[in-house]
C-alpha cells in the first residue's frame, strides 16, 4: 500500500500559453522535497502509456519525492497548436517548468531531476544541459527524431512537401519540426549535463539503431546506468517490463534525487 501524499493542480505560463499539470507532493512535515519532472512522448500527455507517469508519481510522492506531470504545449489539455511542435520549444518549456518548480515553497530548488519518455526523453536530455538538474532518467529516448540524413528523413521531407505533413502513426509532423531538428545534435547538445543518467530501452525498440547505445556511452561515460529490456519494444509492452521500469526509476531517483 502506498503512503500518503497530496495532489495539486499547477499550471505554468510559457510564451503566452498555459501548460497544465499536476504536482504530487509528499505528505507530512513541511520539509522542502526533491522533485522529478516527467516529460511525455510525442503527441502524448501527462499520464503516459499505461498510466505509468501517474503510477510513478504516486510511488515517488509516497516515498518522499515530489513529481510534476504536465502536458507539453499543443498536447493534452495545455494551450498551443500541435502543428507548431518542435523539440527546441519543448526544451524551453521544460526549462520554464524547472524554474517554476524551483520557486515552489514545498520544493528544494537544488534537488530537481528530469525524466523523459521517447521524444520527451530527447527533450529532457537537452534541457538537462540548460539547468543544473540533479539526475536524468531516459525511457526509450528518441534521438532518431532529429536525424536529418538517411532514407527515413528523405521520406519525411517528401511527405511534407506533397501533403503538408508527415503522417506518423496518425499524428502529423509539420515543417517547423523538421526545420528545428536540423539544428539539433542529440548527443553533442546533451553532453554538458554532468550528472547521473538512467537509460532504459527495449531490445526490440524501433529507435534502437546499431550505434545508439554506444553514442550514449560516449556522451555520458561511467555516469550512465544502462538497462536493456529483452523482448519488448518502444512502449515496454508487458506488465513485468513496466513494473521493472517503475522500480528502476523509483530507486534511481531516490538514490540521486
In this predicted structure, what is the pLDDT of residue 1? 45
* 12 DSSP β-pair partners: 19
In this predicted structure, what is the pLDDT of residue 91? 98
For the chain, give every domain's residue range. 5-145+185-256
In this predicted structure, what is the pLDDT of residue 151? 78
Contacts for 24 with CB less than 8 Å, ≥ 6 apart: 5, 6, 7, 57, 58, 60, 61, 66, 67, 68, 69
In this predicted structure, what is the pLDDT of residue 146? 87
Overall fold of domain 5-145+185-256: Rossmann fold (3.40.50)
In this predicted structure, what is the pLDDT of residue 156? 87
Residues of the chain with pLDDT under 70: 1-3, 29, 148
The rounded mean pLDDT for the chain is: 94
- How would you label 43-71 residue by residue, b for 16+ Cβ within 10 Å and e otherwise? bbbbbbbeebbbbbbbbbbbbbbbbbbbb
**What is the value of pTM for the model shown?**
0.95
* pLDDT one-digit tens code per residue, 73-96: 999 999 999 999 999 999 999 999
In this predicted structure, what is the pLDDT of residue 114? 98
In this predicted structure, what is the pLDDT of residue 157? 87
Q: Are 133 and 113 in contact (CB under 8 A)?
A: yes
Q: Residue 20 has what DSSP assignment?
A: P
The x, y and z cell numbers of residue 64, run together, are: 518522499
Amino acid at each position: 500500500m502506498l503512503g500518503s501524499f497530496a495532489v495539486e493542480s499547477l499550471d505554468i505560463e510559457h510564451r503566452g500559453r498555459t501548460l497544465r499539470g499536476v504536482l504530487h507532493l509528499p505528505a507530512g512535515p513541511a520539509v522542502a522535497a526533491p522533485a522529478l519532472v516527467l516529460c511525455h512522448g510525442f503527441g502524448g500527455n501527462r499520464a503516459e502509456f499505461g498510466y505509468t507517469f501517474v503510477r510513478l508519481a504516486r510511488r515517488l510522492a509516497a516515498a518522499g519525492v515530489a513529481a510534476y506531470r504536465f502536458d507539453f504545449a499543443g498536447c493534452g489539455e495545455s494551450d498551443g497548436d500541435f502543428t507548431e511542435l518542435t523539440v527546441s520549444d519543448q526544451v524551453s518549456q521544460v526549462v520554464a517548468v524547472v524554474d517554476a518548480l524551483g520557486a515552489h515553497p514545498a520544493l528544494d530548488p537544488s534537488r530537481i531531476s528530469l525524466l523523459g519518455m521517447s521524444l520527451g526523453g530527447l527533450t529532457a536530455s537537452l534541457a538537462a544541459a540548460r539547468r543544473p538538474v540533479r539526475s536524468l532518467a531516459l525511457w526509450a529516448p528518441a534521438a532518431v527524431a532529429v536525424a536529418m540524413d538517411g532514407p527515413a528523413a528523405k521520406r519525411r521531407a517528401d511527405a511534407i512537401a506533397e501533403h503538408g505533413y508527415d503522417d506518423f502513426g496518425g499524428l502529423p509532423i509539420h515543417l517547423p519540426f523538421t526545420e528545428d531538428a536540423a539544428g539539433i545534435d542529440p548527443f553533442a547538445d546533451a553532453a554538458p549535463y554532468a550528472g547521473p543518467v538512467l537509460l532504459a530501452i527495449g531490445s526490440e525498440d524501433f529507435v534502437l539503431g546499431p550505434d545508439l547505445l554506444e553514442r550514449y556511452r560516449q556522451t555520458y561515460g561511467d555516469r550512465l546506468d544502462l538497462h536493456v529490456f529483452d523482448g519488448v519494444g518502444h512502449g515496454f509492452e508487458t506488465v513485468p517490463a513496466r513494473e521493472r521500469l517503475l522500480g528502476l526509476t523509483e530507486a534511481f531517483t531516490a538514490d540521486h534525487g
